[in-house]
Structure 1
Amino acid sequence: MKWHPFAYHSLDVAAVASAFWSRSPAVRRTFAVALDTEESSPQLLPWVLFFVSLHDIGKLHALFQVKSPDILPLTWPELSSSRLIDTALGHYDHGREGFRLSIEELHSWFTPRSRRAKKAWVSWLAPVTGHHGEIPENDDLLPTDYADTAIKAHDANARQAWVETSTELFLRSAELTLEDPPPACNAEARNLIAGFCSLCDWIGSNADVFQYSAPGPSPAEYLESRLEQIAREDILQRFGLIAPAQPYRGLSALLKGNEHPRGVQVMIDRLPLDAGLTIVEAPTGSGKTEAALAYAWRLLEAGLAESIVFALPTQATANAMLGRCETFAETAFGRANLVLAHGHSRLNREFQRLVDTGSRAATEQEPEASAQCAAWLASSRKRVFLGQIGVCTVDQVLLSVLPVRHNFVRAFGLHRSVLIVDEVHAYDAYMNGLLVEVLKRQKAVGGSVILLSATLPARIRSKLLSAWGTETIAEQAAYPAIWNTTALAESDAPLLLPDSERPSQRTISITLSKLPGARPDEALIQRILQAAQSGALVGIVMNTVDDAQRLWIRLRQEARKIQTPVDLFHARFRLKDRQRIEETVIERYGRMAERGSGHILVATQVIEQSLDLDFDWLITQICPVDLLFQRIGRLHRHLRDWRPPGFEEPACTILSVQAEDYELQELIYGDARLLWRTESMLSQHQRISFPEAYREWIEPVYEEDPWDEEPEQVYGKHLAWRDDQTEAEKKAQRLTTMNLTQFRDDDERATSLTRDGEMSLSVLPLREDGCLLDGEDPGQMDDRARAEAMMLNSLPAPSSWNDKQLAGHDRDEDGRIRLTLQKDGEERWKSLDGGLCYTTELGLAKGETADLMDPPSETPR
């Protein structure tokens, strides 16, 4: 019968830690900064390896040993469960007990010279024994009377013997003893140690690599053999953890053959080669992504990081970024592990191709250079940041500072990475509160962060820079600009572009139309149809799904007469339908779309960020000015030789309400003052000139001081909204200080912690017989196929529907609402009470909205 001695497993993990340390300059540097120690200190690694070797010391305990009764006669013949009093009721936690017992027995191992020395020991023992998911506290652990004196003495002697062995293996060579206190750890250092220890334990526990060994070799001999094996088999690279970056070849290496660095890109090689916070403010489509990747590449080459994490606001934007990062990975690494992480990443075909490539590469002797995802990295979202490039939603980053299990593993991956956060303007006060904590922790370990935005208000920029400790900040600056905390140490002014690289002047004609409900009237609908008939690609952005659905129905009825396609894109589709629609939208309205035949797209905010769409005419409902500029970024996005007659120049029509009550628009965006001020600016201008507008419009709209002509009602609503935002930010900050881990890191519902009140309901439409709408029976599928089918067939619905349209419906074990529908036509289903309807073109709609559509094309059965 196979079994593995405790000492050998502990040394497996220590060997992985030693190999990782020697291969990773970023890990060495991160530990040195976190522990306020010189990186060259000969004592740092011995202390790390010593404490890592104690990570499972709680297993030297009778209650743990009896968990394997078949092995017990070989390891401890005299012990039987009948001799024990299991006060843990079978739930012995070797991590928490290992911590408690170590603190209790510390004085029998040696005599700490002071209370400070003992505190330093506690600060190391807590994270290594807490590597299974939660760093224990000392004040809630009570001793248990589990056996007679002889057994407890046997356990204590075993623990002391292992401490002495580890001392001999790791401390003596550095002329250290137990009486020499280790460097004290603050909270961030503890998280770093826990993440490192957990990662090493995952690898060291892999029996396919570290096969069980019978007792024989001495600890020193065994450790040496494992170190040789790790080097010989290149285990760290096989698991996807290590892949050295190629020498930096300049930003031009990231561009297509006929392209040259432009705008902010020309500044990248001038940025200080040091860890810090960098904020890049530049227009949509100006090459910020390549600029950020190029700077990250420079930091990688300098050994200041060894991986990159690219965080985006939505799953759609993360999916869109995956291909660009794959190209970068092959250029900057040659062969790199690229991980996509969000709730539906395993359904992404491009990511699955990378996983398949990684599986094949594991069997090749000399694989060719390419991007891949090692199977070990792909098997758990806990490992999203452990490869060379992680592409994810920002939620995955924010979870690193929230009370979820193994959050310190995410944090460890972030700390050895350059963190890039795109569309940073898109986050509310709650998410910004979490992001500020991410920045603080990244700085505490000497990490680097790059934030990207086209429309960042000065107030938010100042808050982000302050989180890094940069207090003196210039409020006014030209645009575009790059803010770098290392450069700001000498001056509070940002780095500005040379005149030759400033964005070319771009002027947008604007028309403000005040209409009931901010919805197109009949005259505007006819203009839209005429524009499409002339060959224009018309984009219409509505702020609610209900408005978008109703407008699509109205336009489609009229457009059929002139044979003009009208598309609808919003979030309330089954994932399988949304993926199909997103591909169609990019094909019809994207950079490579065929021009000449007109199309109309009715959409919601899903097209607001990162999607490369190019409209000839844009119509949008009122929204805050920075989001308006994001939408305008989809208007005449690319230079073209031909635009339809009448649309040679970019023009945007903005729809607002007729009174000062913004109704649904205020409900969506919260601050009535932002809407009123945006509308006020629009009413005073017939054109918007970029890039000047990024400062001249955004800053006045977001400034805190009231405008002279501001209505009292609007100002009062703003004060109430501001109080709510302040409380939301405090709520986020309170969460980051909690040590509770009741939320599992691989539980999708944990992401509800990263957004304050935004999380929608998850709805699973089903037929009356329990099958999916396409006729598939989940009961006939294996677990993996069922989970995938449930994801593909689920859709979001507003949380407000919980007490209305979806009240009384059952939920499945994953919290999805089971919505029973009956066939009501081709690709059309209706709820039993008629209150809701689903079609593959309309999505999930209220019954009264669906009734506006043409009659079903077949008789209900």
Structure 2
Amino acid sequence: MGESEERLSVDLRLWGKSGGLDNPYPLVFHLLDTAAMATVLWRDYLSPGTGRFIAEGLGMDEEAACKVVSLWAGFHDIGKIMACFQSMDEDAYAKLDDYPAVEGEKRRHEEAVHIWLGQALAGRGYENGTPRASAFQVAQLLGGHHGRFLRRDHRECRFSPVEILPELGTGKWEHQRQAVFDAVYGLLDPPETPAQVKSDVAVLVCGLIILADWLVSQEEYISARLGEGEDTEKHYRRSLETVPQLMKHAGLAPVRLRDVNFAEEFPEIDAPYDLQRSVAGNLPALLASSPGMLLITAPMGEGKTETALHGGRLLARASGASGFLFALPTMATTDQMYVRLRKYGQRQAESDAALTLLHSMSWLNDAYSAKGSDSSVLSNIVAPDWLHGRNRGLLASMAVGTIDQALMAVLPLKRMMLRMLGLSGKVFIIDEAHSYDTYMQSLLERLLSWLGHIGVPVVLMSATLPNRTAARLAAAYMRGAGHADADLPKIHYPGWAYMDAGTGRTASFTVESRTRDLRLDVRQTPVIRGELDRSGALQELLAPLIAEGGCAAVICNTVAEAQNTYRVLCSWLADLPPGGKPELSLLHARFPARRREEITKEITRKFGRCDECRELQRCVHRPRAAIVVATQVIEQSLDLDFDLLISDLAPIALLLQRAGRCWRHDGRSRPSWATEPRLAVLRPSSESEALAIPAAWPFVYHPSLLRRTDAELTKIGDGVIAIPGAVQGLVETVYNDAIETDEDLDRIGREMAELGLAEMASIPEPEHVQHLHMLTSAEVDEEMVATRLGAESVRVLCVYQAADGRLSLDPQGARPLPDQNKLDRRQIKEILAETIPLRATLAKGRTAVNEPPANWQKNAWLRDLVLIPLRLATDGAMRGELGTKRFELDEMLGLQVSS
């Protein structure tokens, strides 16, 4: 390259952003905006712990690391200097008539930066010679800024970029790439080159650069800066002044929680439990400046949530983290926790900060999507519009979501680096850790190894966690933190343990817990033609409630059984006089989203803690007499209280969880027949009173666990289960690995298979990442990758079909099915509010009539819905078909499926 070419000035005709703008935005300006934004994010968004981790991984001090990361951000789109990108704006491209024509395929600009940048960095002193050298690691890192790392090409370090990718073009194309590179390099005053670029650091840096790119790519921001002038240095200085507002408006400011004691943090608690006092009193002395894991094991109703929030805040303060992600097993439990955390954030946050709700249907939650329009929404922690965008909610300083949102960080999905960035710098709080199957537990282990490695504090809590599971999760975290040989603490129940990720030291504590005797009432319940006949047992158990009042829950193992039980009770109660008839409710997962939310809110209002009535004895919302029929949806995290709990036989940990909804609230006024907490278990029995597992149950629970649980309940008989004294022993006995029967062997085999599936599905542990492309190798969207095996993975939409073929969202035809070219947010929300989750196996055999309208194909929310047209039958019901299945939707029963 000649001297005149070396001094070639940057061509501002080369555009970086064009869509939606009055004029194209020069590429070099966009690169400088992104570099400035990366500087601000490092200073104001990254937690101190994350900044230290990145700097150490680059072998630099933090100031130098900030400069070098900002420099790399300034190169992220340099691959746009090629004909196949510039020609995407025909008018702008026409002005580049002095550039040589380039033949070839259409290539993406992120591939171009991946191929071109390594050689340019090698010319600035970066390590060269192999694809693993720092020059080419940075090139691969920036090639991933659209969410996927590309595979390394062994030729990259030996051949010129144009030889590998001819579409880059030569002559003026190459001269301008070098001119822009030099301009950015000169303006950003980079420090010495990094000693290394480790893969784990590359993940976080790429996430930071993606975030910076997204923020400065907003049309409103770019439009305001068009026409400011052509001086690159002035533009960069101006960017440093203006981009902090982008971060603020996006809701990315770190939260600052008040530094108070437990009593001040939770003023509504008059007398803390021993667990809460123990953690508040002993944890601070164990904390160094490093992160760690706090493991809490205690019975239901012992204040674990408040303990986790207090302990998490102490961990954050000690380790330099900010904010939290609170992860739960289901959308229903997540929605309820969002309400609690919103109040917590309002009370504890010292300044405005965002709290996001993370699950696939979160925008249907009125409390979340209202964004302050309702006076009940607390404005200072409302998530701005920007955080409601796809893949953004986890970036907020406070978030509550389903566990899936975190587990996706260790699946090789597009933009996993953005999820990992969102997790970094927070405290990760996991509720109901016992509730996940072997596959999910294995994914959680992989996630914990990454979080231990990158320095994320973790709080894990459970009411019924087997010791072997607790040990695996703790070991994964400590292994990731570099303490593979650490002595794990003894897990006491009830109690808590702490593992320091910096020193490897551990400590454990036993705590006192409220002791109570749970009366066990095992009822032999006949199985007729493969189905459990609950009618006789329920009439006996509920007779006192009919006579004197009271509140009971009946939990069934399948949706179909819950629906049938509801019908049986409706028939039985029909002859009672209106004044003596208890209220009857049904809740399960196969209601339309709108209807399920209505029922959940109503049940929570009636049987949960009442904010309006300070004295539980005088709660005006609690019915005189009521029966709730439900599935597993109420067994976890929902703060409900019943006088009697009736349950199908289930694995012991889940039975104990269900029992946690019985006499949950001290101080309730109980009917005279409810003299003690009572769990009535409907034991499926043959005529000889042998255990006879109904035909549908093995699809929900493994027979090995049901038989083991039954054996333990048989030993207890109609005795009592001491809470908490007997809990851990029961859990360990049922869930141990001893192989005593063929069913045990089958269960262990399935668990091993699930472990293998999780290993194949997840990304490697941090120290085993040999190439960055391994982290984003899945060629499918995140909606198609399962974080749960056997999950209800299809959403169906029941639509009502009139005689003339017209479709509507209601039986009366007053809400025609929207199918125009462009649907607004209100219409999309209206459609999704009527959808129902369903196992994919129940939605087989779809035909053209089950496909959504063609105009929905461009909408990510709607294109994969399965439509079930319902037509009026001769008996007045609305029914439809899908494959070999018949479907009927009823307002009170939900979606019914039959063959």
In which range does the TM-score fall when normalised by the shorter chain?
Answer: 0.7 to 0.9
Task: Say if 1:836 and 1:45 are closer, same or farther in 2 by CA, change over 3 A.
Answer: closer
Whole-Å Cα distance in 1 between the matches of residues 183 and 885 of structure 2?
73
Q: Secondary structure at the match of 2:434?
A: helix
Conserved in 1, the CA contact under 8 Å of 2:84 and 2:167? no
Task: Give the alignment partner of residue 896 of structure 2, picking from 815, 834, 845.
Answer: 845
1:202 matches 2:214? yes
Aligned residue in 2 for 1:778? 817
Aligned to 2:8: none
- One-letter amino acid of the counterpart of residue 190, structure 1: A
User: 1:616·1:636 contact (CA, 8 Å) conserved in 2?
Assistant: yes
Q: Is 1:482 paired with 2:496?
A: yes
Which position in structure 1 is the counterpart of 2:605?
A: 587
- Give the stretch that moved more between structures: 211-220 or 151-160: 211-220
Partners of 1:523 and 1:264 in 2: how far apart?
38
Evaluate the alpha carbon distance shift between residue 493 and residue 333 of structure 1 in structure 2; reply closer, same or farther with a 3 A threshold. closer
- 1:628 and 2:628 matched: no
Q: Within 5 Å, which residues of 2 pair with 1:10-409? A: 10-24=31-45, 26=47, 29-30=50-51, 32=53, 35-36=56-57, 40-72=61-93, 74=95, 76-79=96-99, 83-85=101-103, 87-88=104-105, 91-104=106-119, 109-110=123-124, 115=129, 119-139=133-153, 152-172=170-190, 174=191, 176=192, 180=193, 182-210=194-222, 211-214=224-227, 216=229, 218-231=231-244, 234-257=245-268, 259-269=270-280, 270-271=282-283, 272-273=287-288, 274-302=290-318, 304-334=320-350, 335-354=352-371, 356=373, 370-378=380-388, 380-409=389-418
Which residue is equivalent to 1:858? Answer: none
Tell whether the 8 Å contact from 2:115 to 2:165 is kept in structure 1 after alignment: no
Is residue 643 of structure 1 aligned with residue 639 of structure 2? Answer: no
Question: Structure 2 unaligned runs (5+)?
Answer: 1-21, 611-618, 766-773, 858-862
Please report how far the alpha carbon of residue 165 of structure 1 lies from its aligned counterpart in structure 2 after TM superposition: 2.6
Post-superposition offset of 1:722: 3.4
CA contact (8 A) 2:644 2:679 kept: yes
Separation in 2, partners of 1:825, 1:415: 59
User: How far off is 1:666 after superposition?
Assistant: 4.8
Deviation at 1:20, TM superposition (A): 1.7
User: Alignment partner of 2:172: what SS?
Assistant: helix
| Structure-to-structure mapping, 1:683-722, within 5 angstroms | 683-685=714-716, 686-706=719-739, 710=740, 712-722=741-751
Q: Structure 2 vs 1, CA of residues 447 and 773 (structure 1 numbering), >3 Å: closer, same or farther?
A: same
Match of 2:753 in 1: 724
> Could you say which residue in structure 2 is the equivalent of 1:450?
459
Amino acid aligned to 1:341:
L
Of 610, 613, 618, which residue of structure 1 is paired with 2:645? 618
Q: Which moved more, 1:473-482 or 1:398-407?
A: 473-482
**Does the 8 Å contact 1:17/1:200 carry over to 2?**
yes
Higher mean displacement: 435-444 or 300-309 = 300-309
- In the other structure, the counterpart of 2:636 is 609
- Between the aligned partners of 1:275 and 1:99, the Cα distance in structure 2 is 35
Shift of residue 588, structure 1, vs aligned partner: 2.9
Residue pair 1:56, 1:94 contacting (<8 A) in 2 also? yes
Map 1:452-467 → 2, pairs under 5 A: 452-467=461-476
> Distance between the aligned counterparts of 2:468 and 2:875, measured in 1?
52
Hey, what's the Cα distance between the residues in 1 that align with 2:808 and 2:562? Answer: 29
Moved more, 34-43 or 576-585: 34-43
Paired letter, 2:409: S
Q: Equivalent residue of 2:492, what SS? A: coil
Check 1:441–1:719 CA distance in 2 against 1; reply closer, same or farther (3 A cut).
closer
Of 162-171 and 120-129, deviating more is: 162-171
Question: Equivalents in 2 of 1:371, 1:170: separation in Å?
Answer: 35
The CA distance in 1 between the partners of 2:65 and 2:745, in whole Å, is: 57
| Alpha-carbon distance in structure 1 between the residues aligned to 2:450 and 2:658 | 33
- How far has the Cα of 1:735 moved from its partner? 8.7
Q: Percent identity?
A: 25
Whether the aligned pair in 2 keeps the contact of 1:809 and 1:817 (CA below 8 Å) is: no
| Amino acid in the other structure paired with 1:714 | E
Letter in 1 for 2:637: S
Moved more, 565-574 or 194-203: 565-574
C-alpha deviation, 1:715, in angstroms: 3.1
Q: Under a length normalisation based on structure 2, what TM-score does the superposition of the two structures give?
A: 0.84
Work out whether residues 35 and 184 of structure 1, in 8 Å CA contact, stay in contact via their aligned partners in 2: no
Q: Given the alignment, which residue of 526, 531, 535 partners 1:516?
A: 526
Q: Kindly tell me the number of residue pairs found equivalent between the two proteins.
A: 812
What's the secondary structure of 1:209's corresponding residue? helix
Tell me: CA distance 1:626–1:488, structure 2 relative to 1, closer, same or farther (3 Å): farther
Of residues 417, 431, 434, the one that matches 1:425 is 434
Structure 1 pair 188/597, CA: closer, same or farther in 2 (3 Å)? same
**In 1, are the aligned partners of 2:683 and 2:691 still within 8 Å (CA)?**
no
Residue in 1 aligned with 2:550? Answer: 536
In 2, Cα distance between the equivalents of 1:146 and 1:191? 25
Report the more deviating stretch, 601-610 or 695-704: 695-704
Q: Which residue type is aligned with residue 112 of structure 2? A: E
CA distance in 1, matches of 2:132, 2:722: 64
> How far apart are residue 531 of structure 1 and its match?
2.1
Deviates more, 1:284-293 or 1:29-38: 29-38
Deviation (angstroms), 1:52: 1.1
| Whole-angstrom distance in 2 between the partners of 1:609 and 1:834 | 31
Q: Deviations over 1:376-411 (max 9, x none)?
A: 111x13111111211111111111222322121111
Q: Is the 8 A contact 1:519 1:655 kept in 2?
A: no
1:811 to 825, 834, 851: 851
Q: Unmatched 5+ residue regions in structure 1?
A: 362-367, 849-861
* Structure-to-structure mapping, 1:568-583, within 5 angstroms: 568-583=586-601
Q: Please say which of residues 16-25 and 251-260 is displaced more in the overlay.
A: 251-260
Q: Contact 1:278/1:449 (CA < 8 Å) preserved in 2?
A: yes
What is the root-mean-square deviation of aligned Cα atoms in Å? 3.2
Contact 2:412 2:762 in 1 (8 A): no
Letter in 2 for 1:548: A
Deviation for aligned residue 1:730: 2.8
Which of residues 662, 678, 682 in structure 1 aligns to 2:693? 662
Decide whether the 8 Å contact of 1:297 with 1:332 is kept in 2: no
**Offset of 1:33 from its aligned partner?**
5.0
2:170 partner SS: helix
Q: Which 10-residue stretch deviates more, 773-782 or 7-16?
A: 773-782
Q: Partners in 2 of 1:784 and 1:635 — Cα distance?
A: 41
Q: What amino acid sits opposite 1:810 in the alignment?
A: N
- Following the alignment from structure 2 to structure 1, what is the Cα–Cα distance between the partners of residues 98 and 213? 30
Q: Is the 8 A contact 1:35 1:185 kept in 2?
A: no
CA contact (8 A) 2:371 2:379 kept: no
Instruction: Confirm or deny: 8 A CA contact 2:513 2:724 kept in the other structure.
Output: yes
Q: Which amino acid aligns with 2:339?
A: G
CA distance in 2, matches of 1:473, 1:519: 50
CA contact (8 A) 2:99 2:173 kept: no
Q: Deviations over 1:115-143 (max 9, x none)?
A: 37971122222122321111222229996
Letter of the structure 1 residue corresponding to residue 522 of structure 2 = L
The secondary structure found in structure 2 opposite 1:340 is strand
2:396 counterpart SS class: coil
The aligned amino acid for 1:195 is G
> Is contact 2:127–2:134 with CA below 8 Å preserved after alignment?
no
